[in-house]
């Protein structure tokens, strides 16, 4: 996540500044990889219940604050969006890397080439995942 404060992120995206939303943004800023809701639940402990966390992550995704990517087990993981993402318009079309050793998912600054869709198809998102061993595990 960028050096923008949780207060600024919430204000920019038209969201009420609550302590729980700030806590989630602070946790996301601490990690260098995408994180699943169960992982966040463990980190947050008694600070937040599962339903509240789910609602916050869903809202953040809707507003363009986070994007989601499925890991090798089909679990949704969340990562901070780029500053160009807005409500309903994600521009995080980059390569995701899922380490087969530590299971972390990294957003890599590798752009996905423009893919021409067949007539009648309109892609709203493209998700490309590479698998292998990350730089921390190799």
Residues in Cβ contact with 15 at an 8 Å cutoff, skipping those fewer than 6 apart: 21, 59, 63
pTM over cut 0.85? no
Structural domain 6-132, CATH architecture: Orthogonal Bundle (1.10)
Kindly report, residue by residue over 70-91, the tens digit of the pLDDT.
998 899 999 888 766 667 666 6
Q: Per-residue pLDDT averaged across 33-60, rounded?
A: 92
Q: Per-residue pLDDT averaged across 101-106, rounded?
A: 94
Confidence of residue 131 (pLDDT cuts 50, 70, 90): very high
Query: With contact defined as beta carbons under 8 Å apart, do 54 and 44 qualify?
Result: no
C-alpha span between 99 and 102 (Å, rounded): 6
C-alpha span between 67 and 117 (Å, rounded): 22
Query: With contact defined as beta carbons under 8 Å apart, do 63 and 90 qualify?
Result: no
């Amino acid at each position: 996540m960028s050096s923008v404060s949780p207060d600024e992120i919430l204000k920019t995206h038209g969201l009420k500044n609550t302590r729980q939303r700030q806590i989630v943004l602070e946790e996301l800023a601490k990690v260098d990889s995408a994180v699943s809701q169960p992982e966040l639940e463990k980190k947050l402990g008694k600070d937040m219940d599962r339903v509240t966390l789910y609602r916050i992550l869903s809202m953040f995704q809707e507003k363009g604050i986070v994007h989601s990517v499925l890991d090798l087990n089909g679990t949704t993981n969340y990562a901070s969006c780029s500053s160009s993402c807005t409500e309903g318009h994600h521009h995080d079309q980059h390569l995701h890397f899922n380490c087969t050793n530590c299971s972390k998912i990294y957003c890599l600054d590798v752009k996905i080439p423009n893919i021409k869709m067949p007539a009648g198809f309109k892609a709203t998102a493209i998700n490309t995942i590479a698998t292998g061993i990350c730089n921390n595990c190799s």
